[in-house]
């Protein structure tokens, strides 16, 4: 089981790997973790169904586009977290940064910043987020949850590795958030059990 102090120590020495390819847009997200008696849990949000949102209805982390007013990608992640779920992140919450990612189908560069929050923290959702829930990191690593699923995405059927989280939501975890989490877990020599590896 990954402990918060183990995560803090690893991220403090980690040099995030940048994305070399150019992108049309830049975004930043906040991975929120909390410690319970049994496990370390990660917060997932479900985005509202919006026609112009490429991640409409998907599971993800709080975050969004980096704007000119943002002093840094991290500032953008913290601003977006406040706007979307009503929680103000600060230096005391901050654990470190995971590696950046480029979108597989969209021209986007995403930075991921990791935070710890208290167990009983309260959130206030805006219209962009319709649900949120905590999932133990161990649950994400369960091989029985790791499946190949076919989605109709951007005009065609695509098959991707995904994680089923039926106790929390009917939506699977896939795409960029899946890859961001896998990047993070790789820092601890952990990885999702891809179906083709079984």
CATH of the domain at 104: 3.90.79.10
Domain that holds residue 64: 4-139+173-188
The answer to whether residue 198 sits within a structural domain is no
The answer to whether residue 117 sits within a structural domain is yes
Q: By the 8 A CB rule, do 61 and 54 touch?
A: no
| Residue 197 pLDDT grade (very low, low, confident, very high; cuts 50, 70, 90) | very low
* Arithmetic mean of pLDDT over the chain: 88
Q: By the 8 A CB rule, do 128 and 44 touch?
A: no
The answer to whether residue 85 sits within a structural domain is yes
- Please give the angle made by the CA atoms of 135, 62 and 177, to the nearest 5 degrees: 60
The torsion angles phi and psi of 68, rounded to 5 degrees, stand at -60, -30
The answer to whether residue 95 sits within a structural domain is yes
The answer to whether residue 32 sits within a structural domain is yes
Give me the number of domains the chain comprises: 1
| Residue 198 pLDDT grade (very low, low, confident, very high; cuts 50, 70, 90) | very low
In the prediction, which pLDDT does 56 show? Answer: 62
Beta-bridge partners for 131: 46
The torsion angles phi and psi of 72, rounded to 5 degrees, stand at -165, 165
Which residue is listed with tokens 């083709």?
196
The answer to whether residue 157 sits within a structural domain is no
Q: Which two tokens stand for residue 74?
A: 């991290």
Q: Which two tokens stand for residue 27?
A: 């975004």
DSSP 3-state of 180: helix
In the prediction, which pLDDT does 127 show? Answer: 83
How, if at all, do strands 108-116 and 101-102 pair? Answer: antiparallel
**Alpha carbon distance 163, 118 (integer Å):** 26
Q: By the 8 A CB rule, do 75 and 36 touch?
A: no
The answer to whether residue 52 sits within a structural domain is yes
pLDDT, one tens digit per residue, over 45-89 is 998 875 665 556 789 999 999 999 999 999 999 999 999 999 999
The three state secondary structure string of 164-177 is CCCCCCCCCECHHH
Q: Which two tokens stand for residue 81?
A: 């977290």
Q: Is the pTM of this model over 0.75?
A: yes
């Amino acid at each position: 089981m990954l402990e918060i102090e183990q995560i803090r120590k690893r991220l403090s020495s980690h040099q995030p790997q940048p994305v070399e390819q150019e992108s049309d847009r830049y975004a930043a997200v906040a991975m929120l973790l909390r410690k319970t008696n049994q496990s370390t849990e990660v917060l997932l949000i479900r985005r509202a169904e919006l026609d112009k949102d490429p991640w409409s209805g998907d599971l993800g982390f709080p975050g969004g586009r980096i704007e000119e007013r943002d002093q840094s990608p991290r500032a953008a992640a913290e601003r977006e977290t406040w706007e979307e779920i009503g929680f103000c992140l600060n230096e005391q919450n901050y654990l470190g940064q995971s590696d950046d990612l480029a979108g597989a189908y969209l021209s986007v560069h995403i930075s991921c910043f990791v935070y710890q929050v208290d167990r009983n923290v309260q959130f206030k959702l805006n219209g962009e987020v319709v649900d949120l829930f905590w999932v133990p990191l161990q649950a994400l690593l369960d091989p029985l949850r790791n499946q190949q699923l076919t989605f109709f995405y951007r005009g065609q059927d695509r098959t991707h590795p995904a994680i089923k989280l039926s106790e929390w939501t009917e939506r699977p975890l896939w795409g960029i958030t899946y890859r961001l989490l896998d990047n993070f877990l790789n820092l601890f020599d952990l990885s999702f059990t891809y179906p083709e590896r079984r």
